[in-house]
Amino acid sequence: MTLRHWSALQAGFECQWFAGKKLEKGYFNAESLELVKPEKS
């Protein structure tokens, strides 16, 4: 999932992700999201 930006109107972050072959998007409040740092290779 990719965090795109904060929306004051939706009171959440706009996110996008792939569901199968389709790109989906939606809004999530900050408390429901968890930061995941990339693994070092």
Regarding pTM above 0.75, the answer is no
Residue 18's H or E segment, with its range, is strand 12-19
The tens digit of pLDDT for each residue in 1-41 reads 888 889 888 889 999 999 999 999 999 998 999 988 889 87
The pLDDT value recorded for residue 13 is 92
The pLDDT value recorded for residue 22 is 94
The pLDDT value recorded for residue 35 is 86
The pLDDT value recorded for residue 26 is 93
Alpha-carbon span 23 to 20, nearest angstrom: 8
Three-state SS at 31? helix
The pLDDT value recorded for residue 15 is 93
